[in-house]
Chain A
């Protein structure tokens, strides 16, 4: 009786869509625990969260796991938009990192005033600056969306335009300067709200809103349907082009939000460095989340877990003493492992193995 129950339990686990991202995250945690135990530290120090008094921010939450969730915010926010884009268009938006930077530059330029390289007072109300970033993100997203949906340009090529141009446009807006906005109301978005890091709160708000939209409207099914079969979706009454356009526009919006966070953290618009390589992390989050990059079905929770897993890997590598220059090598190895585990031929192989084992058991 119990063996039957445990069997169906395993089957349910095996078909759980979040299996891969969760296992990956658990593995990273296990590595931390083992490393901490081996070095004589508290094995659970990875999970320890404490309150710490600081001179700049007052009492704040402190701990490695808080740091990971905080630092992973930008990628998690980007992963939301990327998930929709991948699902709807079977392509990726490789411009998100650059668009982040452009939005940040535009915002800081507005806040500091054109040509000003450093300021502590805001030239326009903060809200105007934030809106500027959001509008810029939407415009960039709409630009990408138009190219992909209405002109049928391949997503990689279409978003390559802003990938290479956006940072330069940002520099142009900032008169080739790194614009510093050293104002506490602006710095808030990259600092702390009470004891909790603000980026975490912003990320949670984004996730909650998107989840509610996906639950309460048919957007999720529409996007998946278009991603699986755009022609059939059109015949069934969906506006495929509009939906793909919408996915890219939303992706631009989330790039803007990530840009605000990243820029606020360093209270400046560093065009050349904000969001650098983050498009790759965002795409990887989607893949790690068990989503097919071939479009169609998506799982947002998977992408989010994927995003934090990537950050956890990065932080863990630093904790293990791997230098930041070599870290990508280890990241690559981990990615290869995960992608292999997720590959259909590997899954089929595992299934054959377990079937053979079961057959043996029956014979015996």
Chain B
């Protein structure tokens, strides 16, 4: 073993029912480095991490950790923490109904002399930790009162505070805005100085090049290689991840077209929902892709939810295809031809314990009503069609959707909505946490849907993605629609509009 190596994993293999998730994978982490673990959805990144942290019980291979004789095999996250491995997962795994401080110290609460939990001291320590990280929160508030981004930061703060040798960050940035990402990077660099090894999993290539020293690439559960960052420029990395050269994303962009002559699909006037979104007007024409730009928490999702009836509009009126409609709940919107892919896949998207088939047909079945059940043959035909069409990687259509990788789960939900053949589809962060190949597939799909005369409302944290697909963008700020951009869509213009005012 080299001197400065902290962790080595050799020949790790692991099988899930019907899928070889990891096949002879290696990983080496050195002291004080930020190491990117890259690969497409289903490449085995999350599985490998779970092997390191004791959640998955791998079948073959060995893990060695500096300072410990013999191979290490963790059976729980606590084991992993004891050998110095802390993790922050892709989806926040904290308790929303506990306070921030309680979440930071859960399982290791400081005790008073009487062995009761020392609330005062941990509230104080928590506030100090959060202040040092530059996260402004009241640590006595329940976690659920904060945005997903803040929750993610709390999860990281918790891991950081646990004196770890190896910090694993699994997609930590997917719900953070640029400023928050920069804060996190500052933090990561600080930890690197202190000698912590960070294993960083992300789908954002630019983030890899911003902070990482080394890259390990996986593909389809197999080890592709380990490279110093300088030896693997962006295109080569993409090629290594996909096993082929990347399609030219720029080609997706359709030619500019004037949609104002097209019939109106959605026309909202003065819709609002108290506390989340102020009254707004929005027109969307047939075949048009409209993007919503704005910082995280600016009311992007809330605007969409208000139209869809996920949060019932309290004021204003809505016309769908020229007809005045009243939408009290999602099913009303669905019956008017709408569909919505929500941004929080785990909480509002997948039905984890149902099969891929059931997840795909769910919305269509809901639309048909309880008494008109799709026959088993129809269900299977629909499931097969969409598994094939958008290439969902699953062992079978009867596999439980929770066994799929994040990106494939997202595709299942997309299939659920495509199966209802909607006229108006809301896609809230459809590409979050998804690999670059799938991203471009989804973007192409959006353009294709629009070409078929469907209207799409597209929300994404990546402006380039919307620039590529949208003909018009709505700009949100502080829960309010502040404007629209319909010509000269460029990164600079959109950023200016989002930043607002005196540009």
Contacts and interface: CB of A to CB of B under 8 A. Distances in A.
Interface residues of A, number: 22
Interface string A161-200: 0000000000000000000000000000000000000000
B350 A229 contact: yes
B282 interface: no
A122 B273 CA distance: 59
Interface in A215-244: 216-219, 221-222, 224-225, 228-229, 231-239
B211 to A, nearest CB: 34
A237 B368 CA distance: 10
A229 B329 contact: no
Contacts of B416: 236
B354 A236 contact: no
B441 to A, nearest CB: 22
A232 B347 contact: yes
A71 interface: no
B349 A232 contact: yes
Contacts of A229: 347-348, 350-352
A296 interface: yes
Given A234-B329, A235-B310, A219 B350 contact: no
A236 B330 contact: yes
Interface in A266-291: none
Contacts of A221: 354, 358, 362, 365
Interface string B402-441: 0000000000000010000000000000000000000000
A232 B330 contact: no
A233 B370 CA distance: 13
A298 B351 CA distance: 14
Nearest to A224: B354
Contacts of A219: 370
B351 A218 contact: no
B365 A239 contact: no
Nearest to A15: B17
Interface in B333-366: 334, 340, 342, 347-354, 358, 362-363, 365-366
Interface string A13-45: 000000000000000000000000000000000
SS class, residues of chain A in contact with chain B: helix
Contacts of A238: 331, 362, 366
Contacts of A236: 330, 351, 362-363, 366, 416
B373 A218 contact: yes
B371 interface: yes
Interface in B256-315: 310
A237 B350 contact: no
B354 A237 contact: no
A218 B348 contact: no
A8 B372 CA distance: 36
B192 interface: no
B222 to A, nearest CB: 23
A228 B353 CA distance: 7
A219 B367 CA distance: 13
Nearest to A214: B373
- B358, B365, B369, B416: residue with the most chain A Cβ atoms closer than 10 Å: B365
A51 B366 CA distance: 51
Contacts of A352: 57
B347 A218 contact: no
Contacts of A297: 353-354
Residue of A219, A232, A235, A238 with most partner-chain B CB within 10 A: A235
B373 A232 contact: no
Query: 6 closest Cβ contacts across the A-B interface?
Result: A237-B366, A237-B331, A218-B373, A236-B363, A237-B334, A228-B353
Given A235-B342, A237-B367, 12 more contacts: A217-B373, A218-B365, A218-B373, A231-B348, A232-B342, A232-B351, A233-B351, A234-B329, A236-B330, A237-B331, A237-B366, A297-B353
16 contacts: A218-B365, A218-B368, A221-B365, A222-B370, A225-B354, A225-B362, A229-B347, A232-B349, A233-B362, A235-B310, A235-B340, A237-B331, A237-B367, A238-B362, A297-B354, A352-B57
